[in-house]
Amino acid sequence: MKTRVLSLVVAVLFFASLLPAQGRGGGGGQRGGGQGQGAGMGQGPQQRGGQMESASGQGTRQQDRDRIRATDQQRDRLQSCDQTAKQIRTQARQMARDASGSKFNADQARQQRDQLRERLQTMQQEHEQLMSELSAEQKQALQNRIQNMERVQERVNNHFQQIDQALNQDNPNAVQVRQQAREMEQAMKEWQNEYRKMRSEMGAGS
């Protein structure tokens, strides 16, 4: 009898020692859950902050575009310059084809050269007029684009001078004329690309 009573007392003491440990474990789990919820709640403001920064950046870019937006007169000038550049490019390509092999005709090439000179002068005048119409803010925003165009224009003029010198000879070198005309056509392609990028940046089309 005493042995059974002693066994019951030992069992009660054993289970009593387990109860506080379980309580502490449950509390820890709750605290862990609370921490998890706190972290999840913290993500909301961060995401909203990122969205606000993105919207602010888009608004700034739109304001930049509005400040350099082309006037109606500038739109017309950009369109005219692009059309003249296309004509010069087409003329240079045709000259290169006509200077291939037995097709070369020096007199015809000289006529093409004269037409190229006139169109280059027209393009130069139109470009200078456009540059004079740009505001200080537009010039600053488009500074890199304008510098690129000046470099391309220098290449175009150099190729034309080479063509002119070749055709001023009594017996023009068809290979030289063809090569310089091709280089000129390629440079005019780059010029057109720069102009179209400028048109896009100024909100005047692409």
Residue 144 is assigned to a structural domain of this protein: yes
What pLDDT was estimated at residue 103? 78
Query: Which of 190, 201, 192, 84 minimizes the C-alpha distance to 134?
Result: 201
Does some domain include residue 93?
Answer: yes
- Residue 49 placed within a domain: no
- Using alpha carbons, select from 187, 161, 185, 163 the residue that is nearest to residue 174: 163
User: What average pLDDT does the segment 153-159 reach?
Assistant: 97
Question: Could you tell me the pTM of the whole model?
Answer: 0.68
Residue 105 lies in a domain: no
Domain span at residue 185 reads 66-99+140-199
Number of domains forming the structure of the chain: 1
Domain for residue 193, yes or no?
yes
The pLDDT value recorded for residue 53 is 56
What was the pLDDT predicted at 24?
A: 46
Say if 84 falls within a structural domain: yes
Domain membership of residue 53 (yes or no) is no
In a domain, 155, yes or no: yes
